[in-house]
Structure 1
């Protein structure tokens, strides 16, 4: 059974969703501004320093935990359907991740659609990885993580790195990854009444802006269609009540088919990117701790 804290945060997710269901619909900038509500759902962790940084022309934020190592890094690509969301709204979650792993986290403000449609986000993901390499980080000392669209972007960044002969990070951690831009997974229907954040209609609208007329089955946009051969190990977390649950199931199947070391975990009764509640709800704290425990040895920590 979900904790009382999880139920309270679910109510805040509901309030966020209802605030976007206005007539007429909110303007894009209003939706982007509203994302701050999700960023404040968890707590601000103690002992973390945030620093703005330019990543080869892309804005980013460093999260540095007290006592953490400085020669390992997690590259984090945020969620928001490739249309909304920003690095600044992920300071809390990434601060908790930095503390759990014991290393720096670089939160990337990749370009958003519709101003910058596909493949701009994956280009920026690759740019972030290459920038870390230029700063002296070994490839096997870098992990990549992200949530929702950022979960899909975690995978597509790794695919693009492979395709360009640029190597692989030590590991990837997609959280509730959006992998199917058409919403064909069965859980889009079976979990429609449980997921309070993500609906098929919303995903279709965001996919249209992101693709800008492009192919919805392009594997660098929709990783459920990708060949995963040669990718680094993956650890995927997803909530049991998510409409995107089957995106994870299908991604895991593709990765296993290609011989990738992939681990997935479904958290019963949890909502989309429930990890945002870190510091306030035990399920989120457990998930973040599990990410830290999984990533640390792969970074040599």
Structure 2
């Protein structure tokens, strides 16, 4: 681990924050995020192709070599307002390269054009499509970052409540899990977090909520959802995040609900620090742990009966 690397990442993110502290337009948010994520390293050894899954565009990501049995269903980050499978390719690609699994990254609908629950409807439809095409749920894993990490959890909840079989495991990088914004870290990490402020989260959160009450299980699962029956969870989060307590509280409630859960907190790193693989040692180490977690939970030899999409 390198204090110098962590300091460099922190300084970079602070430099890239908008000079105007006021609310940004949707167009500015989307363009800024694309520019930031274009700096991230996409690993060698993967192939990508545009496809469709559950009625939505998706990016198929394969290892160059023959895939191992197993499928990652990936949900990108971006506060439910910006981002795409392409902006998340550094993360999806590293998981594919490390596990040998194929992945589908879903281009779910975004707010404010499509507020809650449109994103969850799309991710659940993508999961149904995998199941309908013959994929064994014990060989499917969910993964996501930020808003997509939240979707990995809430898609499990909606699948469970719909009576669908659940995936083998879930990995969530810095997930957004509490639209009520009641975590202690919202206050204690303000200013320490180099990316987010409370005001910025309130701005994008209002677009996603579109006037709905945030006190709903699918908006604030960290404090309101019944987590009974969920598959094993790995929650990775940075200690410098104002969203830190989204993960710590979900982990505690998952434990109390009898769910296998690993809470993986890395010191002095920002939101979705795994994006900095190849630059930050902690990012590569965290991705190694995530890939091991997923690989251990996909039953060896459980291949899809037919190809999806």
Which TM class, normalised by the smaller chain length?
over 0.9
What is the 5 A alignment of 1:1-301? Answer: 2-18=2-18, 21-22=19-20, 25-69=23-67, 71-224=69-222, 225-301=224-300
Structure-2 separation of matches of 1:42 and 1:68? 26
Structure-2 separation of matches of 1:85 and 1:161? 24
Alpha-carbon deviation of 1:68?
4.6
RMSD: 1.6
Structure-2 separation of matches of 1:129 and 1:161? 8
Change (3 A) 1:5 1:42: farther
Which residue is equivalent to 2:304?
none
Change (3 A) 1:9 1:135: farther
Alpha-carbon deviation of 1:15?
2.6
Structure-2 separation of matches of 1:260 and 1:282? 30
Change (3 A) 1:241 1:134: same
Change (3 A) 1:85 1:253: same
Structure-2 separation of matches of 1:294 and 1:237? 12
Change (3 A) 1:30 1:71: same
- Give ranges in structure 1 of 5+ residues lacking alignment: none
Structure-2 separation of matches of 1:38 and 1:251? 28
Note if contact 1:55-1:131 (Cα within 8 Å) is conserved in structure 2: yes
Note if contact 2:142-2:171 (Cα within 8 Å) is conserved in structure 1: yes
SS of equivalent to 2:87: helix
1:70-108 CA distances to partner (integer Å, 9 max, x unpaired)?
641111111111111111111122111101111112111
Note if contact 1:73-1:105 (Cα within 8 Å) is conserved in structure 2: yes
Note if contact 1:75-1:143 (Cα within 8 Å) is conserved in structure 2: yes
Note if contact 1:76-1:106 (Cα within 8 Å) is conserved in structure 2: yes
Note if contact 1:3-1:281 (Cα within 8 Å) is conserved in structure 2: no
Note if contact 2:55-2:126 (Cα within 8 Å) is conserved in structure 1: no
Larger mean Cα displacement after TM superposition, 246-255 or 66-75: 66-75
SS of equivalent to 1:83: coil
TM-score, normalised by the number of residues in structure 2: 0.92
Alpha-carbon deviation of 1:177?
1.1
1:145-187 CA distances to partner (integer Å, 9 max, x unpaired)?
1111111111100000000001200001111111111211111
1:130-156 CA distances to partner (integer Å, 9 max, x unpaired)?
112233211111100111111111110
Structure-2 separation of matches of 1:59 and 1:49? 17
Q: Number of aligned residue pairs: give it.
A: 299
Structure-2 separation of matches of 1:234 and 1:207? 25
SS of equivalent to 1:35: helix
TM-score, normalised by the number of residues in structure 1: 0.95
